[in-house]
Amino acid sequence: MNQFFRCATTLILLAAIAATSSQLQAQSALELLSGFDAARIEAAYPPGDSESFGELAKIIYRLKRVSDDGIESKIAAETTPLELGDAIRVTGTIKSLRTLKVPDNLVEFLEFPVFQDIVISVATEDAEASDEPTSHEAASHEATYNTKTLNLIAARLPTGAAVGDRIEAVGVVIEENADSESSFPLAMASGHVKWFPSQPPSNGWRLLSQAGVDVSELADVGDRNRQPLMAADNDAFYQMLAVSQQIADTPLAAQLEPTWIVPVDLLREPKKFTGDWLRMQLRTVRVTRIAVTDPERQKQLGSDHYFQIDANGDLGNVVVQIARPDGETGEPVRFEGMYPVSLVMKELPGFLSKAIQEQEGGDAVVALISKPIQVEGFFFRLWSYSSDYMERQNAGDQFGPLLMVARMNDRSSVGTGGVGVEVIGYVAAFVIVGGILATLIWSRVNSGEDL
């Protein structure tokens, strides 16, 4: 009998150890920080010299290469005291920002020159409240919250980030709380911080931020104007595409008047309008259904496809001249009358779906549809792509505005707005072929990572 109890006790102890080990494994993210253990993290924070600055920069570098989902999968289901290297998610408001310099010998390898120590204020549920609430507390049944501060070591936020802005971050604990009963750490590191400004610089950023879009991504999007769409655009592209048409139905969108814009404005100052809430009049040329193959992007978008609409915008009396690439001789390429504009949206409006159904059938991937339209949406950036017209001119890639459509209306009932059939036919010849080539290139990028 004694032997039986000894065996049973041993099994219980082993089960308890296994459960504890499983809990720690599910919570710790140390395996994501190649080369770092708890002792090395402890030595790096708080930073006091060039060596500790370098160590913290290396932690950020490693975290930047892990997806938020990868880190969140390590977060424990239950609130327990957090240890060095444990995964954590926080939401708070900025109290102060301090910029720290990456040691010169690491800048080329890490690919960023500075990072930041961001003090944030976090509202946490008071776990230290008495187990026997007062009669008032019992009557209200309301949770008690405390405000605590935390140091967040992270990549540099956009220049516009300021005290009072809300941020979200997932990362790892780099300084635990001396109070063993507290689950709230003193400091964490993160490779990607989402930024929601309290005073957005434009109506577009205000609408996107309210819809949950991390507008810190937009600060970098504008730096890639006139370049092909690339993997670096993915997060901002899919976040905006997923919510643009939802935003159209919000009370805030009804209050904020879009800025009337023409293609030449976006060609002249594209960075000024990144993410802005705009209105344009265009004419469609071609509609293409783009497949989304990555499961995570499908989940984010709520669909396995979206639509790209090639369109033309009126230049009025303006003549656009595009310089030839370095090394190419000849006069600049001229555009008169119209200029190509690209649109993307999750779902087509009824009038376009009907036109495709009548002309090509419901399963058509590509349809040549000419409709005068008015769109409201968000400017993404100027993107470049191959076009037959530019190739015939030996002038390199075509570039043009790309917008996320929130709302599209058919202008057929009120006329074409002066857009001539002759001009449309002339411009469509290179826009259509250029769009086909651009879509093929886009698809090749998507085969590695959807864009």
CA angle 60, 61, 67 (to 5 degrees): 85
- Average pLDDT, stretch 165-169? 97
β-partners of residue 372 are 283
Q: How confident is the model at residue 5 (pLDDT cuts 50, 70, 90)?
A: very low
Q: Does 369 or 449 have the greater pLDDT score?
A: 369
Query: Hey, CA dihedral for 442, 448, 450, 451, is it positive or negative?
Result: negative
β-partners of residue 114 are 101
Question: Which homologous superfamily does the CATH classification assign to the domain defined by 25-126+142-196?
Answer: Nucleic acid-binding proteins (2.40.50.140)
Say which residues have a Cβ less than 8 Å from residue 307's Cβ, sequence separation at least 6: 287, 288, 289, 290, 344, 345, 346, 347, 348
User: What confidence score (pLDDT) does residue 119 get?
Assistant: 98
Q: Tokens 């997932």 label which residue? A: 170
Q: How confident is the model at residue 413 (pLDDT cuts 50, 70, 90)?
A: low
What is the residue extent of each domain of the chain?
A: 25-126+142-196, 203-448
Q: Up-side HSE of residue 271: CA atoms within 13 Å toward CB?
A: 7
Say which residues have a Cβ less than 8 Å from residue 205's Cβ, sequence separation at least 6: 197, 215, 218, 275, 276
Q: Up-side HSE of residue 280: CA atoms within 13 Å toward CB?
A: 31
C-alpha dihedral (354, 360, 361, 366), degrees to nearest 10: -90
Question: For residues 231 and 445, is the Cβ–Cβ distance under 8 A?
Answer: yes
User: What confidence score (pLDDT) does residue 131 get?
Assistant: 43
- Average pLDDT, stretch 379-391? 89
Q: Tokens 């599910």 label which residue? A: 26
- Average pLDDT, stretch 69-73? 89
Asked if pLDDT for residue 13 goes beyond 90, the answer is no
Asked if pLDDT for residue 384 goes beyond 80, the answer is yes
Exposure string of 160-182, with b = 16+ CB inside 10 Å and e = fewer, is ebeeebebbbbbbbbbbbeeeeb
Q: What pLDDT, in 10s, does the model give residues 96-136?
A: 999 999 999 999 999 999 999 999 999 876 544 444 444 44
| One-character DSSP codes across 169-238 | EEEEEEE--SSTT----SEEEEEEEEEE-SS-SSHHHHHHHHTT--THHHHHHGGGTTB---GGGHHHHH
Q: How confident is the model at residue 412 (pLDDT cuts 50, 70, 90)?
A: confident
DSSP assignment, residue 39? H
Asked if pLDDT for residue 432 goes beyond 50, the answer is no
Question: For residues 253 and 406, is the Cβ–Cβ distance under 8 A?
Answer: yes
Which of 373, 222, 240 is closest to 297 using CA atoms? 240
Q: What pLDDT, in 10s, does the model give residues 203-244?
A: 999 999 999 999 999 989 999 999 999 999 999 999 999 999
Which of 312, 300, 309 is closest to 337 using CA atoms? 312
% of the chain residues with pLDDT over 70 = 79
Asked if pLDDT for residue 158 goes beyond 50, the answer is yes
User: What is the rounded distance in angstroms from the CA atom of residue 230 to the CA atom of residue 213?
Assistant: 19
Backbone dihedral region of 261: left (phi > 0), alpha (psi from -120 to 50 degrees) or beta? beta
Using a 10 angstrom Cβ sphere, with 0-12 exposed, 13-18 middle and 19 or more buried, the burial of residue 256 is middle
Q: Does 189 or 327 have the greater pLDDT score?
A: 189
Question: For residues 322 and 333, is the Cβ–Cβ distance under 8 A?
Answer: yes
Q: How confident is the model at residue 328 (pLDDT cuts 50, 70, 90)?
A: confident
Say which residues have a Cβ less than 8 Å from residue 360's Cβ, sequence separation at least 6: 366, 367
User: What is the rounded distance in angstroms from the CA atom of residue 189 to the CA atom of residue 169?
Assistant: 9
